[in-house]
């Protein structure tokens, strides 16, 4: 990073092409954030069949374990099937029981 800044500066200390330096820094920050939160990684697996098959298997295992461990995020009680259906019907991915479900989640 320090070396890159040295290349962007004139000997007097002024930055060359400030507009492009800011643009590059913003793009780097966005790229790092996407990598950190693994955004778009599922799409990358579609090109390789071996990666895709392992991804499908992990999804199946994840969904099986998810069905067994549906508990409310607040009170840690197990959710009934009607509560799970209510969450899925409204497109809510976070697990809440009827008592602790925030009202602003309903569309």
The overall pTM is greater than 0.85: no
Which residue carries 């549906």 as its tokens?
70
Tell me the pLDDT of the chain (107 aa) as tens digits.
444 555 566 667 777 788 888 899 999 999 898 888 878 766 655 555 555 555 555 555 555 555 566 899 889 899 999 999 988 988 888 898 888 888 888 76
Task: Name 8's Cβ contacts closer than 8 Å, sequence gap at least 6.
Answer: 15, 16, 17, 21
Whether 96 and 102 have beta carbons less than 8 Å apart is answered as yes
Amino acid 78: pLDDT: 92
Whether 21 and 8 have beta carbons less than 8 Å apart is answered as yes
Q: Which one, of 97, 93, 61, 65, lies nearest residue 81 by Cα? A: 97
Burial class (CB in 10 A: 0-12, 13-18, 19+), 87: buried
Whether 70 and 84 have beta carbons less than 8 Å apart is answered as yes
């Amino acid at each position: 990073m320090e070396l890159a800044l040295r290349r962007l500066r004139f000997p007097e200390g002024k930055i060359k092409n400030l507009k492009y330096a800011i643009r590059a820094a913003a793009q780097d920050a966005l790229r790092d954030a996407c990598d950190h939160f693994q955004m778009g990684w599922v799409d990358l697996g579609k090109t390789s069949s071996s990666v895709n098959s392992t991804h499908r298997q992990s999804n199946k295992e994840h969904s099986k374990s998810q069905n067994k461990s549906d508990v409310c995020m607040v009170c840690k009680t197990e959710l009934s099937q009607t509560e799970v259906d209510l969450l899925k019907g409204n497109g809510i991915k976070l697990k809440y029981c009827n008592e602790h479900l925030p009202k602003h989640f309903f569309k």
